[in-house]
Amino acid sequence: MYKYVSKLIVYRELGEDSILKRLAGIFEDFGWYKENVLSDSSAFSASKLAEIQDKKHISKETLITRIYAEIKRLLDLSTDYGFDDNLWHNYLTFVMINNENSFTLTSEKVGANDGSVNHFAMNDFAIFKELFDFDFSEIEEKLSIDCFSTISSYKAIVKKERMYNYNVSGKVRALSRRLEACDDAKGFFDEVTAFYADYGVGMFGLNKAFRIRNVENKVDIFPINNTENVVLDDLVGYEIQKKKLIDNTEAFVAGRPANNCLLFGSAGTGKSTCIKAIINQYYDRGLRMIEIYKHQFKDLSAVIAMIKNRNYRFIIYMDDLSFEDFETEYKFLKAVIEGGVETKPDNVLIYATSNRRHLIKETWGDRDDMERGGDEIHHSDTMHEKLSLVNRFGVTISFSLPNQKEYFNIVCQLAKRYPEITLSEKELCAEANKWELAHGGISGRTAQQFINYLAGQSR
């Protein structure tokens, strides 16, 4: 195995801590152990005996211990991603579609291009083909183990989708099965580059949504493993609002001019659901979402710098956006949207939801040009400063609370999705009326909570 891994070129940067790299080191030591320890040592020279003494830490027991440690890591990875059948093939596939290098980055969302790098990539795919077909029988026989045979025909415990990264799992296992059917490196090249064209490479290729975190003063983007599988049809009503959002997003994904978007209105009307549904709808066309919180606005420029040259379209999503009058984080946001020296890249838009139309808390004092008892003379300038933020969203979409008739319609439409709910429409409306009186008033969220209650109580 070591002789194969050491000859990788474009996929060479595996990370010293990678399972493949560590297994290659173990197999290198196993080759030495087989040649020098399992052989007849009586014919060895004094220098060879000294080498053996120097490497006495390489023993059957230490090799087994090291192999089991990597098998445990492989099992943990397989649990996280729901791998099954041949875990070794799943893992190698996972390595190929996660490795960001000169070849994969130029292939993401467009597929293979003509270029000399393809020669080196073909070398690596020939190596991965050898690794796919690697014969573990010798090491299992010499060390009296069977772990490689077990992971090559593995039956995973069935888990609920939310317990592992279902979105990534399906893609890895499907590509792994196609690679198993390939006869040569050319087959590997065609299948993997087709995958890059369809989805991309690395975490941006495999995942829909992301968050950011600051580790040791360095901004890092990490995937949200399980996003909610909602679609726009799940939101009953609000057809005009949904169409405005679709039109803007469609233009953005197609590479045409599009606007930053603000969804504002009462709580529980489906603003956040619309954003999640849009990501699900356009994921296959290269749309990704990065969720960011108010206290992270100072990192916006760093985040944009990390994504501006990737072949995806990114929505930076800000949920429940609002500012008190003493909060100044909105100035970072204003600079990023418009007004900063650096132009916002074409592959980035900002979508925000808010319960406030103007985002920033206003007082009647803000509207009074001569502030009484304060130091600021032209206080109306403060109001314009605050309003200038919302004006930088080119599309604003209002979500108002439904009236009672619309509320009852939402309840009835949602109830049809649950066969276990057998109440008539009249009974549903009567019970829904009681529910909203005791649970925060009329809204789409209240309707869904009522239906969840009924479905949970049904036998």
Find residue 313's DSSP bridge partners. 287
Q: How confident is the model at residue 115 (pLDDT cuts 50, 70, 90)?
A: confident
pLDDT in tens, 261-313: 989 888 888 889 999 999 999 998 999 999 998 888 888 888 988 998 888 99
Domain boundary among 367, 399, 431: 399
Please report the pLDDT score of residue 384 as a whole number: 59
Whether residue 351 is found in the same domain as residue 414:
no
Mean pLDDT across the stretch 433-445?
Answer: 86
Against a cut of 0.85, is the pTM above it? Answer: no
Say if residues 280 and 233 touch (Cβ distance below 8 Å).
no
Whether residue 257 is found in the same domain as residue 315:
yes
Q: What percent of the chain has pLDDT over 70?
A: 83
Whether residue 215 is found in the same domain as residue 303:
yes
Q: How far apart are CA 33 and CA 51, in angstroms?
A: 11
Domain boundary among 142, 174, 201: 201
Q: How confident is the model at residue 378 (pLDDT cuts 50, 70, 90)?
A: very low
Q: How confident is the model at residue 347 (pLDDT cuts 50, 70, 90)?
A: very high
Whether residue 363 is found in the same domain as residue 326:
yes
Q: How confident is the model at residue 364 (pLDDT cuts 50, 70, 90)?
A: very low
pLDDT in tens, 179-208: 999 999 999 999 999 999 988 898 898 889
Q: What is the mean pLDDT of the chain?
A: 84
Whether residue 387 is found in the same domain as residue 432:
no
Q: How far apart are CA 152 and CA 124, in angstroms?
A: 22
* Full domain range(s) for residue 380: 209-399
Secondary structure of 369-424 in the HEC alphabet? Answer: CCCCCCCCCCCHHHHHHHHHHHCCCCEEEEECCCCHHHHHHHHHHHHCCCCCCCCC
Q: How far apart are CA 71 and CA 231, in angstroms?
A: 39
Q: Residues 51, 53, 57, 61: what is their CA dihedral angle, to the nearest 10 degrees?
A: 110
Whether residue 369 is found in the same domain as residue 223:
yes
Whether residue 193 is found in the same domain as residue 241:
no
- The CATH code of the domain that includes 285 is 3.40.50.300
Whether residue 138 is found in the same domain as residue 223:
no
Whether residue 388 is found in the same domain as residue 419:
no
B/e letters for 268-292, b = 16+ CB within 10 Å, e = fewer, are: bbbbbbbbbbbbbbbbeebbbbbbb
Whether residue 54 is found in the same domain as residue 188:
yes
Say if residues 64 and 33 touch (Cβ distance below 8 Å).
no
Domain boundary among 350, 373, 399: 399
Whether residue 367 is found in the same domain as residue 412:
no
Whether residue 442 is found in the same domain as residue 390:
no
Q: How many domains does the chain have?
A: 3
pLDDT in tens, 41-66: 555 555 655 665 566 678 889 999 99
Q: How confident is the model at residue 343 (pLDDT cuts 50, 70, 90)?
A: low
Most confident of 155-159, 169-173, 244-248, 309-313: 244-248
pLDDT at 366 over 60: no
pLDDT at 123 over 60: yes
